[in-house]
């Protein structure tokens, strides 16, 4: 059951990231709304993606604070 869930998370995550990338090219479409959940889904399956997203969150928080 777990491999099936991980496969579904991976497929949905990739689809969301692709939609997010397309949305980044279209001016009236907010791509990050789809890209962030896609990265979160992929991060739940792939630890390197999770580490990368955590590093990005730390960088963004540093820039926002100061």
* Residue 4 to residue 38: CA distance in whole angstroms: 17
40-51: average pLDDT? 93
Q: Rounded distance, CA 13 to CA 5, Å? A: 12
**pLDDT given at position 27:** 83
Is 66 a residue whose pLDDT tops 80? no
Instruction: Give backbone dihedrals phi and psi of 50, rounded to 5 degrees, phi first.
Output: -65, -45
Give the Å distances, CA to CA, from 20 to 15, 36, 65. 9, 8, 26
Q: Tell me which residue has tokens 């955590």.
A: 54
């Amino acid at each position: 059951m777990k491999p099936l869930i991980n496969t579904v998370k991976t497929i949905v995550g990739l689809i969301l990231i692709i939609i997010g990338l397309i949305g980044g090219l279209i001016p009236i479409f907010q791509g990050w709304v789809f890209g962030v959940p896609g990265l979160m889904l992929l991060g739940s399956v792939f630890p390197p993606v999770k580490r990368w997203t955590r590093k990005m969150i730390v960088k963004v928080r540093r820039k926002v604070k100061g």
